[in-house]
Chain A
Amino acid sequence: MTLSPQTTQAIRNAADSHGGAKAAMLEALKLVQAAEGYVSDAHLAEAAAKLGVSTAEIDSLATFYSHIFRSPVGETVILLCDGLSCYLCGGDAVRDAVMQKLGIGFGETTPDGKFTLINVCCIGGCDVAPAALVGPDRKLVGPLSADDLTQLIGGGR
């Protein structure tokens, strides 16, 4: 599947607004990911072609930034903070509970493709620790509790 005309146009616009094709590479990756969920090899090459940069060059950013996914992820990506403030407020118990509930570890996706769980550094939610970012809009949720994971995975599970 090729990128949609909308995504392609948005990538071209990004080159104009960001001061050139090279400076727009990360924005292009984010646009691809927003539309497709992750950045596949094919879409990476397509975005590079639209910008007129090399695939290697754009991949050097895709592999550097931790919020760009080069492999398929679940419908909902949970970025769970493992920073010190969250740890001090019981973050490990939340981590253990969500791993048990979903049956996956960090960097893994549930077999039904619903959730991907990733550990990330301090997300600036220390006032609502333990905290996580959930979904494509990186919604900040917290304080989380090991006893009630609704904020992380909804009520359905």
Chain B
Amino acid sequence: MSETPLTGRAQPDREPHRFAEWQRLGGYDALRGALKRHSPEALVAIVEASGLRGRGGAGFLTGTKWRLMRKAAEAAGEGPRYLCVNGDEMEPGSFKDRLLMEALPHQLIEGAMLAAYAVGATEVIILVRDAYRAAAVALTRAITEAESAGLLGRNILGSGFGLKMRLHASAGRYIVGEETALIAAIEGERPVPRHRPPYPAQSGLWGRPTTVNNVETLSAVPHIVQNGAEWFQKLSRTEEGGTKLYGISGRVNRPQLIEAPMGTPAGELIEMAGGIRDGRKLLAFQPGGGATAFLQEADLDVPMDFAHVKKAGSSLGTGAVIVLDDQSCPVAAIGRHARFYARESCGLCTPCRDGLPWVAKLLDALEAGHGTQQDIDLLHMHVELAGPSGRSFCDLMAGAMTPVKSGLERFGDIFAAHLKGHCPVGRS
């Protein structure tokens, strides 16, 4: 068994630990140690050395993000500075942050405290999606417990460092997970993305320096601080440090969350999830959620880290592996995603607001067997216009078009068969 620092202490029924129990398990040791031994600058250096990459999908180096925040905060001068925790996990196929918030709230809180200390934040706001009510309850209680224990508030443990922490409960809408939209949501604005630059570090929440970090990213921080950068590096099977929470879902026998060394190949993960359901064969998988390109049989041994999956032509995203077997129609699958992204477009920019419903409609027609070659041509046009170098305001549309592009490339023959009114792989 490999080490599972992030999830190893979770209780099988997901009941979150009470404060005293969590402390007995070593909880808040990293914070206590850091406040005594490390300067904020030293903490940034430790996380930098660990190679921790943001687990929200983009894979940006956490230490670098923190350093940029410190620099921007210095320039901004006195006043509040914020750390926002992105608990708006809504990428299709992703369910990793749910466990971390529901069952291990104190781990996240300690990680957020360490991050806040490192970047000089004065307040932490954890934004939680509405679907995760159990997580909101667990976090609310854990914050209160930490306050009562003197780990939040003024002059924490006599260190001179003070910090406030609270929850912001969301109410549906995927776009809230985009970092500038998340900031707008907390301010009470209609949560649509904002232009970058300025980046949140320069002008974030209420115009103040702000860092936005993902739940899994912050949950790893106490372990890095406690055990060191080298230990974290060694957890991984590749150059990118740590373990990773992979969510395996779709056509596998036992869909589940797996904490495994970073760089564990998808083939091994699928085996750990019981293999392809009913002994069928793999058609394709998305390695990191709805907005990632399909990979296939030949990619099963690609180490699942940011660099290797990118090299294979996709991206690690959230590590949410969605498995299609040889009876799963990819046209239907891509259509599901297209409808999701069309519905969740925030409506701010025209290409996304009007383009995605069009794409969804084209895919619906093709799935139903009454599409035409012109429909496929129009899909190609959208891919070209809205792809990664496209013309929409934020990354939502480019992400939405990624599976469409990849599907057209990999499953051209299946799309062609749909033109003749039948699906060669679908169940019905």
Q: Residues of A with Cβ closer than 8 Å to B? A: 17-20, 22-27, 29-30, 60-61, 64-68, 79, 82-85, 87-89, 120-129, 133, 137-140
Task: Please name all residues of chain B whose beta carbon is closer than 8 Å to the beta carbon of A19 when the two chains form the complex.
Answer: 206
Asked if A85 meets B90 with Cβ closer than 8 Å, knowing A61-B188, A64-B191, the reply is: no
Q: Which of B132, B172, B333 is A65 in contact with, Cβ under 8 Å?
A: B172
Task: Please name all residues of chain B whose beta carbon is closer than 8 Å to the beta carbon of A125 when the two chains form the complex.
Answer: 95
Check B336–A87 contact: CB distance below 8 A: yes
Give Cα A25–Cα B188 distance, bound, in whole angstroms.
6
Q: Which of A17, A30, A122, A128 is B94 in contact with, Cβ under 8 Å?
A: A122
Check A127–B249 contact: CB distance below 8 A: yes
Task: Please name all residues of chain A whose beta carbon is closer than 8 Å to the beta carbon of B168 when the two chains form the complex.
Answer: 18
Check B188–A23 contact: CB distance below 8 A: yes
Most chain A beta-carbon contacts within 10 A, residue among B174, B189, B328: B189
Check B131–A124 contact: CB distance below 8 A: yes
Check A61–B344 contact: CB distance below 8 A: no
Q: Residues of B with Cβ closer than 8 Å to A? A: 89-95, 97-98, 129-134, 166, 168-174, 185-191, 206, 247, 249-251, 255-257, 290, 320, 322-324, 328, 332-333, 336-337, 339-340, 343-344, 346
In the complex, 23 of the A-B residue pairs with CB atoms within 8 angstroms, ordered by the A residue number, are A22-B188, A25-B188, A61-B190, A65-B173, A67-B171, A68-B171, A68-B172, A79-B131, A83-B93, A84-B333, A88-B322, A120-B172, A124-B95, A124-B129, A124-B132, A126-B94, A126-B247, A127-B249, A129-B249, A129-B255, A133-B131, A138-B131, A140-B131
Q: Which of B172, B206, B256, B324 is A67 in contact with, Cβ under 8 Å?
A: B172
Check B257–A64 contact: CB distance below 8 A: no
Check B98–A124 contact: CB distance below 8 A: yes
Task: Please name all residues of chain B whose beta carbon is closer than 8 Å to the beta carbon of A84 when the two chains form the complex.
Answer: 92-93, 250, 290, 322, 333, 336-337, 340
Give Cα A88–Cα B168 distance, bound, in whole angstroms.
32
Give Cα A52–Cα B332 distance, bound, in whole angstroms.
48
**A20: min CB distance to chain B, Å:** 7
Give Cα A141–Cα B278 distance, bound, in whole angstroms.
23
**A128: min CB distance to chain B, Å:** 8
Check A126–B93 contact: CB distance below 8 A: yes
Q: Considering only CB atoms, which chain B residue lies closest to A126 in the complex?
A: B249
Check A88–B171 contact: CB distance below 8 A: no
Give Cα A79–Cα B171 distance, bound, in whole angstroms.
13
Give Cα A42–Cα B324 distance, bound, in whole angstroms.
48
Check B171–A29 contact: CB distance below 8 A: yes
Q: Considering only CB atoms, which chain A residue lies closest to B337 in the complex?
A: A84
Q: Considering only CB atoms, which chain B residue lies closest to A91 in the complex?
A: B336
Check A126–B320 contact: CB distance below 8 A: yes
Q: Which of A26, A60, A120 is B170 in contact with, Cβ under 8 Å?
A: A26
Check B131–A66 contact: CB distance below 8 A: no
Task: Please name all residues of chain B whose beta carbon is closer than 8 Å to the beta carbon of A124 when the two chains form the complex.
Answer: 89-90, 94-95, 97-98, 129, 131-132
Give Cα A6–Cα B210 distance, bound, in whole angstroms.
34
Give Cα A61–Cα B186 distance, bound, in whole angstroms.
12
Task: Please name all residues of chain B whose beta carbon is closer than 8 Å to the beta carbon of A60 when the two chains form the complex.
Answer: 190
**A2: min CB distance to chain B, Å:** 23
Asked if A26 meets B171 with Cβ closer than 8 Å, knowing A121-B340, A122-B93, A124-B95, the reply is: yes
Task: Please name all residues of chain B whose beta carbon is closer than 8 Å to the beta carbon of A27 when the two chains form the complex.
Answer: 169
Q: Which of B95, B98, B133, B174 is A137 in contact with, Cβ under 8 Å?
A: B133
Known: A89-B249, A127-B249, A127-B255. 11 other contacts (CB 8 A): A18-B166, A26-B169, A27-B169, A60-B190, A65-B173, A84-B336, A85-B92, A88-B324, A125-B95, A126-B93, A140-B134
